[in-house]
Amino acid sequence: MPESTILNLVNADIYQGKSQILNNVNLKIDKGEFVYLIGKTGSGKSSLLKTLYGELPLKEGEGTVVGFDLRKMDWKKIPFLRRKMGIVFQDFKLLTDRNVYENLEFVLKATGWDDSKKIKARIEEVLDLVHLPAKSYKKTYEMSGGEQQRVDIARALLNNPELILADEPTGNLDPETTDMIMQLLISISKDMNTSILMATHDYRLLQQYPSRIVRVEDNSVSDNAVIPQQHTTTI
């Protein structure tokens, strides 16, 4: 597989427990690509993402993500897989009893960082990247939704990921804040050459920030999909 290929699924079947969710998935993403993942609620988008970051096992077919073989994945290897990718959630999943700095410090220590000076420098670096340098000692519950999402993105950037998986990262945000987050993600993809696979329901984003589209539908995945011709803003 070429070094430029960050994600490659070949004839992969995606399961949730014993239930097959997706059949014969073929998907390839190269370094620095920004790819939308669309599909109705319950179509299998989240199950696909969970398979990619090791929460669900890949039982059939072939799959390689950031250099790891998903068929050979076990609980010992999952932390190493996740150090090479970032995960951005719709509901942030931040530690509300800690401030921003402590949230990010927790992740770095959990992934093997032990030099306090390097930890401090890296936290300052990622907060600057997401335009939150003055917010490091603010409790996360005191922040707006857009600020919390930027903290979530900063957390995803801590270990210089090759791939970011973003599951509805703008789903709970107003349009203006959504645009700010989209511009940030797109700049990360372009400026840092980081691959991003982003699940979304928002048609407006596909039109305003056009990029490659992958659709999940009828238990399968179709690549290079087009935006459906309708005026609704949800998929």
| Judgement on whether residues 79 and 182 belong to the same structural domain of the protein | yes
| Judgement on whether residues 183 and 75 belong to the same structural domain of the protein | yes
d(CA 189, CA 162): 10
Q: CA 89 → CA 12, 48, 50, 151, 200, distances in Å?
A: 24, 14, 12, 11, 11
Antiparallel, parallel or unpaired: β 195-199 and 163-167: parallel
Task: Identify the domain containing residue 70 by its residue range.
Answer: 1-84+162-235
| Judgement on whether residues 179 and 70 belong to the same structural domain of the protein | yes
Antiparallel, parallel or unpaired: β 195-199 and 34-38: parallel
| Judgement on whether residues 59 and 171 belong to the same structural domain of the protein | yes
| Judgement on whether residues 22 and 65 belong to the same structural domain of the protein | yes
| Judgement on whether residues 151 and 204 belong to the same structural domain of the protein | no
Q: What pLDDT, on the 0 to 100 scale, is given for residue 234?
A: 44
| Judgement on whether residues 2 and 75 belong to the same structural domain of the protein | yes
The CATH number of residue 191's host domain is 3.40.50.300
| Judgement on whether residues 2 and 78 belong to the same structural domain of the protein | yes
Final residue of a domain: which of 160, 194, 216? 160
State CA 128 to chain mean position distance. Answer: 20
- Total domains in the fold of the chain: 2
User: Tens-digit pLDDT profile for the chain (235 aa)?
Assistant: 567 899 999 999 999 999 999 999 999 999 999 999 999 888 899 999 999 999 999 999 999 999 999 999 988 899 889 889 999 987 778 888 899 999 999 999 988 899 999 999 999 999 999 988 888 889 988 998 889 989 999 999 999 999 999 998 988 888 998 999 999 999 999 999 999 999 998 889 999 999 999 999 999 998 876 776 554 444 4
| Judgement on whether residues 4 and 47 belong to the same structural domain of the protein | yes
User: Tokens at residue 209, please?
Assistant: 């920030």
Closest CA to 140 of 184, 90, 97: 97
